[in-house]
Amino acid sequence: MNYVFGAVDNALICGFVLAPGQAGRPIGLAESLSWLALGAAQPADEFLWLHFNLTDTTAEKWMQANLNLPPEFFEALREGSRSTRIEDASDNLIAVVNDVAFEFSFDPSEIASLWVSVSERVLVSARVHPLRSIDRLRQAVKDGARFNSSVELLNHLMNDQGDVLVRIVREATLQVDNIEDGLLVGRLQQKRGELGQLRRVLVRLQRLLAPEPGALFRLLRQPPPWVKAHDLDELRQATEEFSLVIRDLSALQERIKLLQEEMVAQVGEQTNRSVFTLTVVTVLALPINIMAGMFGMNVGGIPLSEHPHGFSILALVVLGFTAVAGWLAFRKKD
């Protein structure tokens, strides 16, 4: 293996050598090449984790030249964002993990992918944008967390992603609670847009973060031979807990949908009241408009034109017609 293509340590976000019961030891690209070159000469229980930044164009080239990764991993890199999945590829676990940006603010553009390849001795992860779950895992290793296998490291990542999603669901629930409180007091205009955007984000989260059941089922039925039984059980449990959070996400979407329907109903009621008010005003003004039009004609024979109380009589007639029209209009409303 050679240190080629001008790769520099900027392409590597972090690297660790881990072993059961021991804290991770930081390692750079040059040291990782030496560790990989020794291969079987390394302690059998040691494994390597390399985490790459794909915005550096040398990262993918370095991985292709120096790491024995399956073609499915690089195909996944080129596919871009897809739903979360874990599958077996030539006795390697290939995972596409969708996560949220470190400073997530319920914007769909802040959901990005993390690509992971796991073998018995090497775990490789790569991302384009900073992501919260993988950052938590990196910090845990820095703080001295112990991992017994590369699959256990993957399980920790899945659990971290589940925790992040739980917090997102909680924050979204609080936002929905505030919007619902505003709905109860009639403040709709500023909240309808927020509710629609929140629902779109949650739909995208569910579509991307929900693990593909088919790929996981195939993996659990025929796992790579080097994966230990208890690691497989932990992976199954992590996925089941993750699925529970996804169901909570679905329930929250249904709640948002009901709130949107209630808002539409309230807006419809307000529109109906406005139309009714406009109709009543038009009906009440109709008699006086007719009388004014008739008596405003510049023709002879206008009744009561010479009568000393003509204006009062016409005013009473108009008021009478207006009262009758108002009574008919409000009786219809009741």
> Model confidence over 178-214: pLDDT tens digits?
877 777 766 655 566 677 777 777 777 777 766 666 6
The label of the residue with tokens 């195939």 reads 218
Please give the Cα distance from 289 to 282 (Å, whole number). 10
Q: What is the pLDDT of residue 289?
A: 77
- Mutual angle of helices 310-333 and 229-295, in 10-degree steps: 160
Higher pLDDT, 145 or 81: 145
Per residue in 166-183, pLDDT (tens digit) is 887 888 888 888 877 777
Q: Which stretches of the chain are DSSP H helices?
A: 29-38, 58-66, 71-79, 132-142, 150-184, 189-209, 213-221, 229-295, 310-333
Q: What is the pLDDT of residue 7?
A: 46
**Confidence at 327, pLDDT banded by 50, 70, 90:** confident
Per residue in 16-53, pLDDT (tens digit) is 999 888 888 999 888 888 888 887 667 778 899 999 99
- CB atoms < 10 A from the CB of 84, how many? 24
Confidence check: pLDDT of 328 > 70? yes
Please give the Cα distance from 82 to 43 (Å, whole number). 36
Confidence check: pLDDT of 3 > 60? no
Question: What phi, psi does 245 have (nearest 5°)?
Answer: -65, -35
- Mutual angle of helices 150-184 and 229-295, in 10-degree steps: 20
Q: What is the pLDDT of residue 207?
A: 73
